Homo-oligomer: A and B are copies of this chain.
Amino acid sequence: MAPFAVTPNALDLADLRTRIDTVLAGSLRREPTTVPAQRGQADELSTALADFVLAPGKRIRPLLCVLGWHAGGGSGAEERLWQLAASLELFHAFALIHDDIMDASDTRRGRASAHRSFATRHADRADSEAFGTNAAILLGDLALVRADEILHAARLTPQQSEAVLPLLDAMRNDVIRGQYLDLLSTGTVTDDIERALTVNRLKTAQYTVERPLQVGAALAGAGPDVLRACSAYALPLGEAFQLRDDLLGTFGDPHVTGKSDCEDLRSGKATVLVALAVRRADRAQLRQLTELFGDPRLDGDGAARMRRILEQTGARAAVETMITDRQAAALAALDRAAFPPRVDAVLRRIAATSVRRTK
């Protein structure tokens, strides 16, 4: 074996995930040293945050950050990388906690969502529902503050700050804008495919895939060519990922996906899938879509009728084609990118599994 050979599991995803969790646990299971301990129930917030963040998760954003670092030629002292990666996960916890409030979602990762869980723990209060929501707003806020704290603890060099922070800021602005557009669109029957794609791009392609990769690469000191190569791979892949997610949300097997196959239709989620169906619907189909879509009382029969329309209009097949095209574009981008082989291999694996998945 050559002396500098890369060990086979250098980019083993499970291994990387464990290291990310270790950094997160180290940061969350102790109180920040800057805050003198306040006795009593205020600690409930810190505990709730640790429980939320440390519940098993895919850690897709921190993983992509680590991969970006390798793609950018990163080597040597990795301490900052792990803190930056952990900071992305904490930021994501903030986004999830607040999204769940806005969507009135009762569950998250197979457990009660944060606001439900606070409401249950304080069921003795007359205002337990409102209290749960308010406490969850604060919990999300705390997650964002802690994301910054761990970022500050990383002590980026001025060069790293200049390269990394504008990307992070862009990512944070993107996801908030995407969520706002999503709020505006939810519940309206529209054929505005471009708008659905914009939300997809902001909330998934950029926020979940492109920026995490770029942030890691920028930390490693990558130049503009590498950052562009990251985008060329990430944007189509992220779009494909979300399109698959939309299909699974309506055509997936709830026993496999772990979530309802009616919820997106019931809440009136403005997906590309639905926009395509609206554009292609005949008069009778459009009348049914308008009647059923976003109806909070939508039952299994109604959902089945909607699914038939999504099929008959060819919307489902069109989304499958969009996914295939985008996956091909992501892989072609990798061909051109010439990332280090061990990074290239993992990114190909991610492209394959995230697009073909059943959950």
Contacts and interface: CB of A to CB of B under 8 A. Distances in A.
A54 interface: no
Given A152-B161, A169-B145, A176-B142, A127 B187 contact: yes
Contacts of A40: 181, 195
Contacts of A157: 158
Nearest to A147: B148
Nearest to A38: B177
Contacts of A141: 94, 98, 140, 144, 176
Contact of A177 (B35, B125, B183): B35
A137 interface: yes
A16 interface: no
Contacts of A134: 101-102, 183
Chain A binding surface SS class: helix
Contact of A184 (B41, B167, B195): B41
Contact of A135 (B41, B130, B183): B183
Contacts of A127: 187
B35 A174 contact: yes
Contact of A183 (B98, B101, B131, B152): B131
A244 B155 CA distance: 41
A313 interface: no
Nearest to A157: B158
26 contacts: A34-B166, A34-B169, A34-B173, A35-B174, A35-B177, A38-B202, A40-B181, A41-B184, A42-B180, A42-B181, A45-B176, A98-B138, A98-B141, A102-B134, A125-B187, A131-B183, A134-B183, A138-B176, A142-B176, A145-B173, A148-B169, A148-B172, A149-B169, A149-B173, A152-B169, A155-B161
Given A42-B184, A98-B138, A152-B166, 5 more contacts: A34-B167, A102-B138, A135-B183, A137-B137, A152-B165
State the 4 A-B residue pairs at the shortest beta-carbon distance, nearest first: A34-B170, A102-B134, A152-B165, A145-B172
